[in-house]
Amino acid sequence: MSDRYVVLSGCSGGGKSTLLAELQRRGHSVIDEPGRRVVRAELQIGGEALPWADLAAFARRAIEVSIADRDAARALPGWVFFDRGLVDAAAALEHATGELMLETIGRSHRYNETVFLTPPWPEIFVRDAERRQGLEDAIAEYERLERAYPRLGYRAVVLPKVPVEARADVVLAELKAALT
């Protein structure tokens, strides 16, 4: 486990990437979402490991990328903020196949005990070329993650629907409070 590795998870379209950009602007190291990188790569080569084509293949690729991200994060100083992580990918694989990967992967590659969840936020949710799922699917995914993280012993903090600067303040305050 690395207490320096902090996961931002939750609802697709809930503001994770915007929050990550704010944390990076404040000088923290960030790791972009594995799923979006997998989608971009698959679209470039005409691949099928896409959440709307083959969710299981997509989740397996996201697991590979997430493990590589953790390895690369060792070289980064201070807190490293991850836009999703292994638990998200393992939960997607478990949902797609019924394989009980969440316990194995989620317990062997730990992050900071506090994980931050962005709740469904319909007012900012948008689809794009890499996010083709609708809000209903995003909410179902959020509900799976809302159960998965505590099941693995994480303390899930649901972030308020406030401007990004205030959200970043909440994240940093929670992390500093956990140190004392």
**pLDDT tens, position by position, 43-94:** 999 999 998 899 999 999 999 999 999 999 999 999 999 999 899 999 999 9
Query: Measured between alpha carbons, how far apart are the two ends of the chain, in Å?
Result: 19
What does DSSP assign to residue 150? Answer: H
**Domains along the chain with CATH numbers:** 5-179 (3.40.50.300)
Q: What is the pTM of this model?
A: 0.91
Q: At what angle do helices 101-108 and 86-97 cross, to 10 degrees?
A: 170
pLDDT band for position 102 (cuts 50, 70, 90): confident
For residue 129, the model assigns a pLDDT of 64
Q: Which residues pair with 114 in a beta bridge?
A: 155
